[in-house]
Amino acid sequence: MQTQTVTYNNILEEMWAMCEQADTLREAGCYPQAEQLYLQAMAHPASQDEEEWAATANSLGILYKYMGRYDEAEPLYQKSLAILESTRSPDHPDIASLYPNLGGLEHARGNYTKGEPLARRSVEIREAALGPEHVHVAADVAALAALVDGQERFEEAEALYNRALAIFERELGPEDMEIAINLNNLAAIRYRQGDYAAAEAFYTRSLQIKEMHLGCEHPDVGMTLNNTAVLYKAVGRYQEAQALYEHALLIFKATLEPNHPHVLLCEENYAGLLAEIGQQVLPTPGVKI
């Protein structure tokens, strides 16, 4: 019996190592390589355990969301949630981890109203289990804020972002990636409110943190470059906006599929800028729209 236990533990550790490597690749923006490892892990003997399969399927779903493959992400999230619901109580924190993923998927699709109840449920479960100041609660609050923000309830969203930001700064320090994500989102709110100076400061700080963690050619960096370019276009800083759009497009086209939502959005924004400025500035060679 002891030998069987050791052997099974070895099998589990082998699969976990594959998933950890896939997580690292996903965070680095190496999406195709991460996908292959997740798929191998899901076919691994250890994944015959439903809960192990569910954990890996959830991670693959996150990857597919990053890749813009929303219709492939959703069934993975749903199957993972069904497995956990069959083995845990409805208010278990493990179940709460699936709700913000499903809510985030609806956010990516623009279905903000549909995603909001999922995010709120996650906050409720984790607050009850972990207390209101836990970093996992803060992450769920930030996810909820994004969905509220999408419905143009800006004051409520900003309050939620600031609540999450305060917890992250206290628990994780001022240069964690969660700080960068929240600053980017706060910048977007300030931009829509017309507070361009505050928006630029938040975008600049977000970009600094992202580049420190991810390097200068990661898709998340590209998204903040795109957002900053939108701001610069709005205030008439056209040459700076053009340079940022072109940098963002180079990043996206090197790391994402041509039909990825980030690529399409940035191309649309870039084309709008060129149309507005006419022949004042010519596109940089190598950047096509």
CATH (domain of 240):
1.25.40.10
For residue 143, being part of any structural domain is answered with no
Q: b/e string for 145-166 if b means 16 or more Cβ within 10 A?
A: bbbbbbeebeeebbebbebbbe
Model pLDDT, residue 158? 96
Does residue 2 carry a pLDDT above 60? no
Q: How many domains does the chain have?
A: 1
User: What is the DSSP-derived secondary structure letter of residue 176?
Assistant: S
- With tokens 């008439």, the residue in question is 236
Q: Write out pLDDT tens, residues 260-270.
A: 999 999 999 99
Helices (H), 44-176: 50-66, 70-87, 93-96, 99-109, 112-130, 135-150, 154-172
For residue 78, being part of any structural domain is answered with no
For residue 235, being part of any structural domain is answered with yes
Structural domain of 257: 174-289
Neighbour count for residue 52 (Cβ, 10 Å):
21
Does residue 33 carry a pLDDT above 50? yes
For residue 133, being part of any structural domain is answered with no
CB 62 within 8 A of CB 26: yes
For residue 135, being part of any structural domain is answered with no
For residue 64, being part of any structural domain is answered with no
For residue 266, being part of any structural domain is answered with yes
Reported pTM: 0.88
